[in-house]
């Protein structure tokens, strides 16, 4: 049997242990380096939503070479952002990032704002992204709750395998109470817990033997009880509208100019699904009609 976790665990114990582990095991990611710009952090946060680091890295590097500032991106059509987004998936993020860059130029003189309130007012920026940019780019003290952080908190502090489908008030309060008082340390804590969830306390195969807080983990102490909440979503891809939309976008992305409808018809064999997905791409602003039977990126 694993040792019992301390029910009265002091936050300082977790802070020292996790921050020490992070100092030794943090990945060398370009957007975390001292010279990384706030814009680089913004781009990384948009790209990392539902996308693994390994897929993001090459796209982020190419993106930052082409558009090193918000003004560089805002000066080009939004369709170029969609084209450069490539196969990262969820391409509406590219449109939102372009819109955010435009807002930064028009409302903040081209400089990414540092306050949470100004960040969350940008197009496509929600609570998590605003808190993450304020923390990681500007060293501020905010609750940063991504999937990895929530899973670590659920296991170590809550004694359950997975958190609820969406953050609860109790979960936010617990995370807030756990934040170090010092701003810089709180910002590092946020990324350290995220890294622990990404590298060790993973969803499918947690490496408890390598976890720095294994002896403090309530889920481990309870004998790893299986998740008993509502069924967790399993993301299928083959044959879905998402795959169909991706096929249609790939045709446009790989073309220099407008594409005739016949080329889109050839990209997906099911007529009804293709029609539905093309209509949704048009509604989302990812595709524009340039003629009676031709389409292009915006």
Residue range 37-136 forms a domain whose CATH class is: mainly alpha
Question: What's the order of all strands across the beta sheet hosting 294-296?
Answer: 259-260, 294-296, 288-291
Average pLDDT of the chain is 92
Residue range 11-27+142-221 forms a domain whose CATH class is: mainly alpha
Q: Each residue of 229-262: pLDDT tens digit?
A: 766 666 677 788 889 999 999 999 988 889 999 9
Q: Is 150 in a helix, a strand, or coil?
A: helix
Q: Which CATH architecture has domain 241-296?
A: Orthogonal Bundle (1.10)
Please compute the mean of the pLDDT values over residues 258-285 and round it to a whole number. 92
Catalytic member of 45, 161, 171, 195:
45
Domain segments of the chain: what residues? 11-27+142-221, 37-136, 241-296
Q: Where residue 146 falls among pLDDT bands split at 50, 70, 90?
A: very high
Give 234-260 as a DSSP string.
Answer: ----TTSHHHHHHHHHHHHHT-SS-EE
CB 34 within 8 A of CB 137: no
Reply yes or no on whether 118 is catalytic. Answer: no
Q: For the whole model, what pTM was predicted? A: 0.87
Q: Where residue 8 falls among pLDDT bands split at 50, 70, 90?
A: low
Q: How many CB atoms neighbour CB 21 within 10 A? A: 19
């Amino acid at each position: 049997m694993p040792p019992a976790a301390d029910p009265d665990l002091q936050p300082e114990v977790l802070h020292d242990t996790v921050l020490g582990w992070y100092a030794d095991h943090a990945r060398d990611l370009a957007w975390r380096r001292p010279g990384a710009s706030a814009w680089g952090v913004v781009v990384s946060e948009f790209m990392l939503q539902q996308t693994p680091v390994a897929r993001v890295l090459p796209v982020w590097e190419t993106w930052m070479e082409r558009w090193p500032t918000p003004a560089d991106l805002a000066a080009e059509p939004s369709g170029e952002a969609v084209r450069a987004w490539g196969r990262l998936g969820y391409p509406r993020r590219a449109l939102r990032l372009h819109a955010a860059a435009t807002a930064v130029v028009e409302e903040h003189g081209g400089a990414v704002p540092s306050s949470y309130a100004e960040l969350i007012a940008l197009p496509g920026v929600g609570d998590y992204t605003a808190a993450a940019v304020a923390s990681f780019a500007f060293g501020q003290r905010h609750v940063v709750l991504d999937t990895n952080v929530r899973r670590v908190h659920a296991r170590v502090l809550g004694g359950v395998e997975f958190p609820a489908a969406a953050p609860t008030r109790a979960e936010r309060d617990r995370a807030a109470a756990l934040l170090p008082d010092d701003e810089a340390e709180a910002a590092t804590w946020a990324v350290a817990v995220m890294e622990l969830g990404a590298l060790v306390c993973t969803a499918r195969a947690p490496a408890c033997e390598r976890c720095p807080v294994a002896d403090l983990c309530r889920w481990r102490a309870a004998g790893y009880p299986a998740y008993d909440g509502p069924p967790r979503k399993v993301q299928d891809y083959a044959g879905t509208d998402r795959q169909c939309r991706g096929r249609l976008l790939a045709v446009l992305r790989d073309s220099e100019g407008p594409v005739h409808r016949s080329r889109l018809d050839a990209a997906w064999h099911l007529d009804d699904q293709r029609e539905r997905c093309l209509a949704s791409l048009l509604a989302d602003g990812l595709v524009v009609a340039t003629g009676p039977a031709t389409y292009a990126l915006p």
